[in-house]
Every structure is written in C-alpha cells, then in structure tokens.
Amino acid sequence: MNENVQVFVEQFNESTIDCQKFCFMARGKEFQEEAVQKLVALKQQASDLKAELIASCDEQSANLLLSLEEAIEALCYELRMWIALKEDDPNSAWDCLISAQSAMLTAIQSHSAVSHLEGYVQRLHFLEKILFPPQTFLSPGIVIEESKCSICGEEYGECDHLKGKPYMGRICAKEITKAKIRECSLVEEPANRHARILRFTDGGITRDVMTWRIITETPNEIVSD
Ligand SMILES: [Zn+2]
C-alpha cells in the first residue's frame, strides 16, 4: 500500500474512533459540533489525497480513499442527526440519518477495506427503528426514456461501467435524464427513504407525521426529497 495511504488509514481509524465517542444523545451538543468540524477537515484531507492517487492512476488506492471519504461522511451525518434532534427538528434528523445510511452503502461498495464497518451499517438501521416513528414512503413508477453513465457520460448500458461499482475514486451511477412518471405508490421498503409522507389530515386537523404537531399553514409540498 502507498505510504501516504497507510498513514491516512491510521489517521482515519484514530479520528473516527474518537468522534464515535460523541454519537450518543447524552453527549454535549458542543462536542458533537466540534466532532463534525474535525470530520469535515478529515474528509477534505481524504479528497486531496484521492486527487493525488487519481493523478498517478492508482485505482485501488483511489477507490479505498473514496470508501473512507464516504464513511467519514456517514459519521458526520450521524452526528448532525443527534444535533438536529436536540434542536427539536426530527424531520432534518431523519434526512441526516438516511444520508448516513446511503453514504455507508457507497463506502461498502467502493472498497473491501471498510467491510469491518458492517456493524456500523446495522447501527444506523437500528437507530432508524428506535428513534423515529414508522414512516410511509412514496415510490414513483417511472418509464426511463434516457439515462447516462455518471463515469463516462455514454448512454447507460452502452459502456462497460456498472452502477454501484467504483472506478478510479468515483462510484458509477445511472443518471436518469428523461423519464415519464406513470404512478406513485405507497410502499414500506422504498428505494429512496427521503421520499415519505410528511403530513396527514384527519377530521379537518393536519398533523406533522414525525412530531404529531398540528400544522396550521397551507402545505406547498407533501413530500420531501
Ligand atoms: Zn460509462
């Protein structure tokens, strides 16, 4: 392994263990905010090192750095979730948790070096179940008319890149550029857990699904995304 990468992996292990100390509701908000700042700086270091590795065409190490970047991002989002809960903003806290789960999925897909963090993935799913009430999700039924590969820009399926696989420090995604929405269904296990019902009306009273508080203003939107 490249020496700079090895040094960074050690720093990653130390810093993330240190910041995980603050991933509890009981910890002081000021320490959680400080940990977020440290992780933002650590992620920048990872990005800078990844850029060097890409320049020297070291694909394995660039993918490893992508994996670490995403794991740092996940931890940052978890801390932001605890902060948002303390600020009485559970809707933002939910979005932070779902973003943390997505970042960890990318981290695991990018390199086997973080496969030992499977337990952390489980923790994020466990937090979803114990911190938030059950949610109702929305899933659009769409007909994809045009999509492109995020790595090379070719029409998706025409190149050799596969979505969810890492290529020189970047994860491949199928970018939908043109689609028709056919229907929208209520589902329990959606592809996108950000898309959910935010409020409901019963007997003339509209409530926030998350907080149960009564909403008096006219809603402009019914789902977040
Ligand atoms: Zn491609």
**pLDDT (tens digit, 9 = 90+) per residue, 54-104?**
999 999 999 999 999 999 999 999 999 999 999 999 999 999 999 999 999
| Angle between the N-to-C axes of helices 3-20 and 29-55, in degrees from 0 to 180, rounded to the nearest 10 | 160
pLDDT at 140: 87
Compute the distance from residue 144 Cα to the ligand 1 centre, in Å.
Answer: 17
Compute the distance from residue 165 Cα to the ligand 1 centre, in Å.
Answer: 11
Q: Which residue, among 126, 125, 127, 141, has the nearest Cα to 182 in the 3D structure?
A: 141
| Mean pLDDT, rounded, for 198-221 | 88
* Amino acid residing at 137: F
Give the tokens for residue 94. Answer: 């939910």
By the 8 A CB rule, do 106 and 70 touch? yes
Compute the distance from residue 151 Cα to the ligand 1 centre, in Å.
Answer: 5
Compute the distance from residue 119 Cα to the ligand 1 centre, in Å.
Answer: 32
Compute the distance from residue 74 Cα to the ligand 1 centre, in Å.
Answer: 26
pLDDT digits (tens, 9 = 90+) for 122-173: 999 999 999 999 999 999 889 999 999 999 999 999 999 999 999 999 999 9
Which residues fall inside 5 Å of ion ligand 1, going by CB?
Answer: 149, 151-152, 154, 159, 161
| Mean pLDDT, rounded, for 100-126 | 94
Compute the distance from residue 176 Cα to the ligand 1 centre, in Å.
Answer: 13
Compute the distance from residue 163 Cα to the ligand 1 centre, in Å.
Answer: 9
Q: How far is residue 64's CA from residue 86's CA, in Å, rounded to a whole number?
A: 34
* Amino acid residing at 161: H
pTM, to two decimals: 0.91
By the 8 A CB rule, do 143 and 99 touch? no
Compute the distance from residue 48 Cα to the ligand 1 centre, in Å.
Answer: 24
Q: Could you write out the three-class secondary structure of the chain?
A: CCHHHHHHHHHHHHHHHHHHCCCCCCCCHHHHHHHHHHHHHHHHHHHHHHHHHHHCCCHHHHHHHHHHHHHHHHHHHHHHHHHHHHCCCHHHHHHHHHHHHHHHHHHHHHCHHHHHHHHHHHHHHHHHHHHCCCCCEEEEEEEEEEEEECCCCCECCCCCCCCCCEECCEECCEEEEEEEEEEEEEECCCCCCCCEECEEEECCEEEECCCCCECCCCCCCCECC
